[in-house]
Structure formats: structure tokens, C-alpha cells
Amino acid sequence: MDEFERLLEAERSPVERFVKFRIASRADAEDVLQEVYFTAYQKYFQLKKPESFKAWIISIARNKCNDYFRRKAACYEIPLDELEEQQLSDSRHGFSVVSTVRETLSLLGDKDKQILYLYFWKEMSQAEISRRLNIPVGTVKSRLYTAKKNFMNKYPRYYTDESKGEWSMKKLPELMPEYKIEVSTEPPFAVKWEELMGWFLIPRLGEKLSWGMYDMPSRKCGHIYDMEVIGKAKVHGIEGVELTAREASYSDKKDVINRTFVAQLTDTHCRYLSTIRNDGDVRNFITFLDGEEFLPNWGFGEDNCGNETNLTVRGDILRNGTVITSAQKAFLLDIVGRYTVTIGGKRYDTVCVMDIETYNCGVVSEQFLDRNGRTILWRRFNRDDWELDHYKKKWSEQLPDNDRLTVNGTTYVQWYDCITDYIL
């Protein structure tokens, strides 16, 4: 094995993660990777310092990804230069500053750009767009709705923060409100779920959230988390947002842990890009390229793509009361039914999203989402023998009165619940 092959073998995984983070199509990503490797091989003689190989080949990968997106834009026939001569009509969206519109469009996916260009700049009807793109009119309506929503979410005027003074969160109750979960006879609805898995905050500018963790069966709040998106951020050239999480004990709010993440929300996925950890007096930035240091705690999904945001019933997980059966596959997350959740005297129409050991072996969760894709109630269940060496007792012995689930014949016991200030 020559020096190039040895260095490439050592850094192949970070390069693949970088490209597959940026390019959603697996086939296209593989094509781009082949271009990266071939170019690196051809130009290896230009590399003066072998210890800089990782940064050097990542820069090649970044350029190849940019080339890919330029080719895609040409295929979609999106001549953005035309925007220098035109403005969006105020009767459409109220936008008038061309440079801001152009900048916002550059943040959208190719399909969003295409549908907006045809509809607003070419002033084509939905029927004309349907014929032009050879897709049903219903698909045109859906894509146009999504594109306009994505545009509005990214346009700066939607992120103006007019709050003054110290950020004040809603006070979470010390005791978990009484709740009831009732099975609905109605079929489950599809939902757009854009929250960060495990943290409940949507990684979008302007978002703030508080949530609490409640021990069961005492129903007492053990920890509270105040979270806020504080600005835009990039990790290895990939755009996201930076967010902070302030964790404190409910009984001693001076005992505080501050965390910082960078996360990305796309039309299809929500994922972590990096986390910042304090190692003594050193701030340690850990990113999605850092392999085993990052993936077990923050990675999720095939090729670390993150959790899907467009949820529908797949049939991977089937539920009958407290008995759950699932397919034999990785990343088991599925809608398992429709439920009415009554909590704190309010009733919510929800779907239940179950997660079976996707981020933590031996852990199952129930997440009840309303039609806005926001969490109404989250419940964690531990496999009966989870961390038995540490806790010395099975969970059915530690928490005999807590709810239980049977998943593929194995017992899981409720440990704690979470609610957010969204329901207050």
C-alpha cells in the first residue's frame, strides 16, 4: 500500500460523511466521492505536508460538492441573474429588496427554487407548471406550499427579535400535571416534525423553549432546560444554527450546566452538526467528522442523515395496547397510532411516535405530537435489565408501579416523562 492509499484509508470515513451530509441522493453522493478520490490521486503530488491530508482532501470534497450543486442548478433552469432586474410583487409576499430575496433563495433547495421561479418570475399557472415538470397538479400545489413556507422561514424579516432585557422563560411546574392518554378511533395523521431529537427545540432562528424532566412515579421535576437559537453557524461549510441549552436542577437553580450545539434543519431531516464540550479550560469542538467521538451521542439515521421530519405511518412498528412488535431493522422510528392526550386540563389530538433503541440500546420512547409537530408529552421506558450492573436491580423491581410496555416479547419500564412550555 503506497502513501496515498494509506492516508486515504485513514480519512475515508470523514470524507464520506462530509459528502453524504451535503448530498441527499446516495447515488449522486457516491458519484461525487469517486470524483473526489480521482482528483486527490491526480493532485497528490501537490500536497507538501502529509499531515495536512485530511484538511486537503476535505477541501477537494467541498469543491466537488459545489460543482455538483452548480450542475443541478443548471438542470433546474434557475437563472438567478434575472432577479437583478425584477422584484417580487408586494401583492404576493410583500418582498421588495432584491438582494435579500436572492440571498434567501440561495438558502433553499433546488426544487424550492425551481417552483418559486416558475410561479413568481415566469408567472406560470399551476396547470402550466404541472405540464412543464410532468408532475400532477396536486404535487405542484404541495411543492409550492412547502417552498413558500421554507422561503418565509428563511427570510430575515421573520426572525426579528423585538424582545428587550433578560430572556424570561415560562415557569415549569414542580409536579408533572395529571394526564390521560386515550386511543382515538380516527386514523393517524401525517406530521411535520422539526424538533431536535431528544431536545424538543426546532433549530430555526428565533426559536426558544423550556422543558422539564419529571421522575416517575413521584412526578417531581428533577431538571429544567432553557434553550435558545442564538444565530447562524457553519460546520465544515455546512450551514446550520447555533443553540444554547442551560440545564439546571429544579431544586437548586444555581447548579447550572451550559451546553452549545450546532444543528441543521432541512426540508427532510433534522440533525446535529457539532457540539462544544469544555475540557478543563479548553473548549473542545466535536463535529460530525469526528467519528466515534461524535456519532454514538449525536449521530442518527443512515449515513448520519438525522431524523426524518416528514412522518407518516410506515408499518415498521405495530402497537396493540401495551404490546409492540417491530420489524428487524435499524433506526426504528414510526407513528403507531392516534391518541387524545389530556394534560393540565387541556385536550390534544396527537399521534404517537415510537422510537425503539435508535439512540440508546435498551431504551424505548413515546412521543405524542400534535398537528403542529410539537411535543405534547414524551415518555421514556428502560428495558428491564438496562444498566443492571450499575443499578443492581431490574427496573420492574425499582419502579414496580410505573407503566410497562412489552416490545418484541421484552419488558420495558417507564422511567421519566418530559413536557415543554409549549403546552403551558
- Domains annotated for the chain, with CATH where assigned, are 3-75 (1.10.1740.10), 80-159 (1.10.10.10), 179-423 (2.40.360)
C-alpha cell at 322: 401495551
Q: How far apart are CA 270 and CA 289, in angstroms?
A: 17
pLDDT at residue number 378: 97
Judged by average pLDDT, the poorest of 40-44, 53-57, 170-174, 384-388 is 170-174
pLDDT at residue number 282: 76
Residue that has been written with the C-alpha cell 450542475 in this structure: 71
Tell me the one-letter amino acid at 207: E
CA separation (Å) from 165 to 226, 293, 344?
16, 38, 30
Question: How are beta strands 323-326 and 221-235 bridged, if at all?
Answer: unpaired
Q: CB–CB of 191/369 below 8 Å?
A: yes
Instruction: Tell me the pLDDT tens digit for each residue of 154-193.
Output: 654 333 333 333 334 458 999 999 999 999 999 999 999 9
Judged by average pLDDT, the poorest of 81-85, 226-230, 231-235 is 81-85
Mean pLDDT, residues 318-345 = 92
Residue 422 or residue 107, greater confidence: 422
Q: How far apart are CA 351 and CA 363, in angstroms?
A: 20
Question: pTM score, two decimals?
Answer: 0.67
Residue 132's φ and ψ, nearest 5 degrees, are -65, -40
Asked whether residue 314 carries a pLDDT value surpassing 90, the answer given is yes
Q: CB–CB of 363/353 below 8 Å?
A: no
Asked whether residue 331 carries a pLDDT value surpassing 80, the answer given is no
CA separation (Å) from 362 to 234, 259, 338?
34, 25, 25
Mean pLDDT, residues 124-140 = 86
Highest mean pLDDT among 47-56, 246-255, 272-281, 378-387: 378-387
Asked whether residue 287 carries a pLDDT value surpassing 70, the answer given is yes
Residue 121's φ and ψ, nearest 5 degrees, are -85, -45
Highest mean pLDDT among 54-68, 108-122, 302-316, 342-356: 342-356
Instruction: Tell me the pLDDT tens digit for each residue of 63-96.
Output: 888 788 777 666 655 554 554 433 333 222 233 3
Q: CB–CB of 367/378 below 8 Å?
A: yes
How does residue 293 score in pLDDT terms, banded at 50, 70 and 90?
confident
